[in-house]
């Protein structure tokens, strides 16, 4: 399945292009894959929301359960030691799953936590949907507001040059390190939990309320990479720069290779 490359008119804050990309379904029967991230073994960690399960998909297609103790797992992030941090949407709690499977609580009372990200210093950021804030959790476990007064944030990614936030009732917003807004993409119906950054500094986000996967570039331009997926909600990027998209509508995971 390919998307043809055509030039569109300027859309809101961004110039939007269609990019040519290949899409391949790699996993089927996944129970609403919301949070997604790769560990250092190039295994895909997936929060299966409706099954209250966190699963690991190996390079050969094998699947194993990492934890089935977390209710309504949403966003996922993996640290340098391959610890997995999982937001429980229904219990307002952030959990840590160690590689050996041990589960512990990192923070609670997070007011409907959705997306999770970890910065280069090991600090954790959680998109708190109900409080319209991004919660910052330092390595001592102290919580503070990194951003507030947002439009129902559900996704966050820490970038080398700043942050990107997806707001389910708004846009995908870009900020610099001083938290000044530098740009936005408003072409989505409902931006989802899935949002990641690349080594080149581009941001990849998905539209839960529609069908699109979009690359938002540092210069403010955007490219639609796919427009035929059924309610994409999760996204992860592997070391090769390939995107993996989790879809709510057909409970599948797709690999998207950008041409």
Count of domains forming the chain:
1
**Quick check: is 2 in a domain?**
no
Instruction: Write out pLDDT tens, residues 186-220.
Output: 999 999 999 999 988 999 999 999 999 999 988 77
Q: Which helix (H) or strand (E) holds 22?
A: strand 21-27
Measured distance CA(245)–CA(229) in Å, rounded: 9
DSSP 96-114: EE-TT--EEEEE---SSEE
pTM: 0.91
**Quick check: is 94 in a domain?**
yes
- Residue-range definition of the domain harbouring residue 25: 7-258
Residue 5 pLDDT > 80, yes or no?
no
**Quick check: is 1 in a domain?**
no
Kindly state the tokens that stand for 129. 């949907």
CATH number of the domain that residue 94 is part of: 2.120.10.30
Inter-residue contact 118 to 125 (CB < 8 Å): yes
**Quick check: is 122 in a domain?**
yes
Q: How many residues does the chain have?
A: 259
Residue 6 pLDDT > 60, yes or no?
no
**Quick check: is 80 in a domain?**
yes
Instruction: Write out pLDDT tens, residues 143-172.
Output: 999 999 999 999 999 999 999 999 999 899
């Amino acid at each position: 399945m390919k998307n043809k490359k055509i030039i569109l008119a300027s859309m809101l804050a961004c110039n939007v292009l269609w990019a040519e990309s290949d899409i391949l379904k790699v996993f089927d029967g996944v129970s609403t894959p919301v949070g997604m991230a790769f560990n250092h073994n190039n295994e895909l960690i997936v929060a299966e929301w409706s099954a209250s399960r966190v699963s690991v998909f190996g390079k050969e297609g094998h699947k194993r359960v990492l934890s089935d103790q977390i209710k309504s797992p949403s966003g996922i992030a993996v640290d340098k030691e391959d610890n997995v941090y999982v937001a429980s949407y229904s219990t307002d709690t952030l959990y840590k799953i160690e590689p050996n499977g041990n589960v512990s609580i990192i923070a609670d009372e997070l007011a409907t936590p959705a997306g999770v990200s970890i910065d280069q210093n090991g600090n954790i950021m959680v998109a708190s949907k109900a409080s319209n804030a991004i919660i910052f959790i330092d390595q001592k476990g102290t919580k503070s507001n990194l951003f507030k007064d947002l439009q129902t944030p559900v996704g966050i990614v820490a970038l080398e040059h700043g942050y990107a936030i997806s707001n389910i009732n708004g846009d995908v917003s870009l900020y610099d390190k001083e938290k000044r807004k530098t740009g936005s993409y408003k072409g989505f119906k409902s931006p989802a939990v899935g949002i990641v950054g690349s080594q080149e500094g581009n941001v990849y986000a998905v539209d839960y309320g529609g069908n699109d996967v979009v690359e938002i570039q540092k210069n403010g331009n955007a490219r639609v990479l796919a427009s035929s997926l059924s309610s994409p909600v999760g996204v992860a990027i592997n070391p090769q720069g390939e995107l993996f998209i989790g879809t709510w509508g057909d409970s599948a995971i797709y690999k998207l290779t950008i041409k």
